[in-house]
Structure 1
């Protein structure tokens, strides 16, 4: 059995905007959830899997649960017509049937659980993990969300061996946001653009139980490119994680014959990182510099 988040976002068409809660209530009544061809993880859902609905802005809360009644399937023409409700925002060719649908009378605000959910690695930018689509979560996180939030919960604490330097991690905490904001100005050495589906941007792209910092696509070669930030992790942990993401993308996103490679971004290349990527032709390492300049404005001697 697997556990999933179904992320409900607002929908827009020529008639206006439908808020996430209205989308959830309609699909709960339908006992059906529409999916797109490129929805991450849609091929992995199975009958009996447990799901939790996350209601995006303006609520930002977990709002219900259900059980999958089957795998992702293609709708026939009559089903497409009925389940569209004559609204463009509900039109779909694919989807899954739902059982045991419950909309919670008291939604659980995400702010209560961010510090404790293991799939949210970057707590400061937790919102990047809820951009739309389907995200796999662990059974532990599923139990945490569905349990009484007033219970005493044990936080997962990273061990020292997983972090080389707390000060380095703090310094680099804004690196991910900086890269996204300045993407077109960065010299990637290739014509890279952020990969995106109808429901998910390329930042914090869901990969099973994990999240890829950035998933990009090469406009020239059509290769998919996994971009991972070292951000204080050990070299061995970073390379191992990157290889896992590359293999996941090959098995779940890439088309037949489509290449997948990776870029690791680090402040410096130490001996461990140099040897870890040796004989890994599909992994490239790039370094960056943080500039901090002081200029005297007052009290300067002449």
Structure 2
């Protein structure tokens, strides 16, 4: 089997055209129903992603299941965004068009969401200043080590 990389994809609460807050969980569910994930012009680590890379999904924001990692998938294919393509997110959500689209393999929800705060001390990518741990999940896509992936996977499958 080919070597793969490990990533955490981050989704946050967003606003719709009427000013309502849409939860990160709702946005994730919508994207997962299509098995597609948008990458934007300034998304960190997008050039490092390749087919078969493993992905975890972190819900940011303040609504349902926020600050948890809820499931995993792998990259099936990567395509550039074409202007005639429909948007990945619900059309009422305010966002720019992506530059790249990831097509995902089957998505698997964890038995229970992993509360990141409960495993902070076990993860190598969390800053030393634990008060600012949320900065580790900025930028849309976070590359992580296999060791961190395994810790999160184990916590989610308990």
Does TM-score exceed 0.5, indicating one fold?
yes
Q: CA deviation at 1:96?
A: 0.8
Instruction: Name the structure 1 match of 2:97.
Output: 92
Instruction: Name the structure 1 match of 2:45.
Output: 41
For the residues of structure 1 that align with 2:106 and 2:91, how far apart are their CA atoms?
26
Q: 1:57 aligns with which of 29, 38, 61?
A: 61
* Alignment coverage as a number of residue pairs: 149
Task: Indicate yes or no: 2:14 matched with 1:11.
Answer: yes
2:57 alignment partner, SS class: strand
Contact 1:9 1:132 (C-alpha < 8 Å) held by counterparts? no
CA deviation vs aligned residue, 1:150-207 (integer Å, no higher than 9, x gap): 98xxxxxxxxxxxxxxxxxxxxxxxxxxxxxxxxxxxxxxxxxxxxxxxxxxxxxxxx
Runs of 4+ in 1 over 4 A off after TM superposition: none
Instruction: Name the structure 2 match of 1:83.
Output: 88
Contact 1:54 1:63 (C-alpha < 8 Å) held by counterparts? yes
Instruction: Name the structure 1 match of 2:5.
Output: 2
Q: CA deviation at 1:147?
A: 0.7
Q: TM-score, normalised by structure 2?
A: 0.84
Contact 1:34 1:90 (C-alpha < 8 Å) held by counterparts? no
For the residues of structure 2 that align with 1:133 and 1:41, how far apart are their CA atoms?
9
Task: Indicate yes or no: 2:154 matched with 1:147.
Answer: yes
Q: CA deviation at 1:148?
A: 3.8
Q: CA deviation at 1:149?
A: 6.6
For the residues of structure 1 that align with 2:92 and 2:35, how far apart are their CA atoms?
17
Contact 1:68 1:97 (C-alpha < 8 Å) held by counterparts? yes
CA deviation vs aligned residue, 1:12-58 (integer Å, no higher than 9, x gap): 13222211000110111010001111111111100000010011132
* Greater length-normalized contact order (CA 8 Å, ≥ 6 residues apart): 2
Task: Indicate yes or no: 2:107 matched with 1:101.
Answer: yes
2:41 alignment partner, SS class: coil
For the residues of structure 2 that align with 1:148 and 1:127, how far apart are their CA atoms?
19
Q: TM-score, normalised by structure 1?
A: 0.46
CA deviation vs aligned residue, 1:102-141 (integer Å, no higher than 9, x gap): 1234101011110110111322321111234001000000
* RMSD of aligned residue pairs (Cα, Å): 2.1
Contact 2:30 2:89 (C-alpha < 8 Å) held by counterparts? no
